[in-house]
Structure 1
Amino acid sequence: MEPEKPPPRHAEGCLTVAVRLPVRMVVLVLVVPVRMVWDVLAVGGRFLRDTVLRPAGRALLWVAWAVLVWPWVTLWRHALVPLGRGLARLGRVLVVVPGRWLYRRALTPLGHGIAWLYARVLTPLGHALTWLLTGIGHALAAAGAGARAVGAWLARYLAVLPAVWLYRHVLTPLGHGIGRLAGALLWLGRALLTGIGTGLGRLVRVLLVLPALALWRWVLTPVGRVLAVVGREIGAALGHAWRVAGHLSLAVGRFLGTLFRWIFVEPVRWVYRTVLTPVGHVVRDLVLRPAAEAARSAGRAARQALATARETVRQARAETRRLLFGTDPEPQPVSRREPKAAGTRTLGSSTTALTKD
């Protein structure tokens, strides 16, 4: 089998070759400076990134972490997380566990019961009531529509049109006549009432007012004045009697107070001064003071006896220790090798080693 040959290339014309070379030369002249500038900028950017920006960014990142993130992370780890865990445990113990128990043991059986009641009782009952009420509603709607039409026709021809005709041709003329008759009767009644009122007023004046006025002027006023004088005098007499009774009660009270003082207070005071006070002094001097002195002497004797007993016990303990362990050795005097006062060296003495005989 022979190998496949590549497809033949199309031959390019001389115009294409003639245009390609100058265009490439111009583009090369224009692009080379731009690329050189780009490479310089890229190299400078990489150098600036590696030597300045990256260390500065790391330093800024470390500072930002130390200033902004690390305190919050520390607060989160060492304060909020333990607090949250404690609150979560507390919420679990106080809320979740009781809520779960309540949900499992109370709400779930109650919900199942309600669901069973709803599915087995309320839903069929609701469907039946819906069907029944729907049928009744449709029947009432149909009957109501026919009844409304018949009622409207009957009301129009049996009530409205006769009522309009009756109002226009009967009630309106009758109302006008009744109004005129009522006006005439009202005028007549007003005239009659005015005459009757005037007559009754005069009759009341003659029969009641004038006698009452005469009774007030000629009887009640003099009697009232007399009664006022009598009442004023009675009031004055009561005031005077009240004041006299006050003086008398004051005198009686003073007398009873004096009598109580001489019968009870003065004898008690005399007994207290002449009997109880000397007896109290005698009891204080002959009984209480000797008893207090004897109690103090007994206390001193008891304290002395306790001190003697403690000293005796201390001596007996010291004697027992001496008999068992012996006596402590007496301290020996230590020579300090200091010159005596008579043998001290002075400026005028000749007791040195060079001048000694």
Structure 2
Amino acid sequence: METDKRPPAGGGDGCLVGVIRVPVKIVAVLVVLPVRVVWELLVAGCRAAHRHVLGPLYVHVLEPLFRGLGWLLTVLFKLVFVWPWVGLWRYVLTPVGQGLAWLCRGAYDHLLAPAGRFLGAYVLRPLGEALAWLGRGGMRYLLAPLAKGVGWIGWALGMALFVWPWVGLWRYVLAPVGRGIAWLAAVVHRYVLRPVGLGLVWLVVAVYRYVLRPVGQGFVWLVVAGYRYLLRPVGVGLGWLAVALYRYVLAPVGRVLVWAWHVAGLITAALWRGLKWVGRVLIGWPASWVYRHVLTPAGHAVREVWRTGRAAVREARASVRRALFGTPPVEPARSRERTLGSTTAADAAPADEISLPRRQG
């Protein structure tokens, strides 16, 4: 029988992947699985605590407490910072302000306004007219000639102190000095600065043409050669190495870790179902059996004993009342409502619908 030497359908992964997969599986079972189990237990515990402890505690305790505290703080804030100032403004400051305004209006209407009108009509107006007449006379015959003389003297002093000295300084000093400086600057520019500038320009052009340009071309050639014969082969090699590392190492390890995580999840789910089944078998089913076959019959028996004892007590009480007073016993209204109008105990058959009105009639 010939051995089939064709590769498997999945395209085999090689011995390196097999060597790496076994330790990864062992690590996954020894590390990932316990972590997953602990995580699931923590999630289940937190959900149960939130559902049965934190949620009811917040709804039935903390939320009403916070609402009560908010209402109390609102009332205290209004009592301390709102209502006293509102009362002070409404019952103290507003009446006092209205009283002061009334007093001020009365004082103005009956005291200040008449006094002002009197002073304006009989004191201030005549005094102003007299002062105006005196002022017009003094301005016309005294102040106008004096102002003209003072103005002419001030113009002469201003020209002598602030105009003529500066005009002479500009005309006889600054202008000749400025023309000499301009001539000197033109000579320096023509015979010194211009030749030096042309020499510097020629030197810069020569340095660029015979030094910088060849050096730059050599540097560019060096960069291109380094990229073409060094950086590009190294980059291609590194890219091939990264692709090979991803394809033959990282991808198999990742698949193994994903498989281990899923297996741990399945094992955890199975363990959780087993724990639930064990809890149901050890706790749920015995509790259900005890409730159904022990507590329920015992409750029924207690209820029957209670009903029988209550009926016996009721009958004994009726017999005693009949023996003492000779009157038929009257059943309480609550018992009549509970037994639908019958005259027997609660466990007897109810009477017809017209029996109660007939007896009451």
Short-chain TM bin: 0.3 to 0.5
Which structure's relative contact order is higher, taking Cα pairs within 8 Å and 6+ residues apart?
A: 2
Which has the greater radius of gyration? 1
Q: TM-score, normalised by structure 2?
A: 0.41
Q: TM-score, normalised by structure 1?
A: 0.41
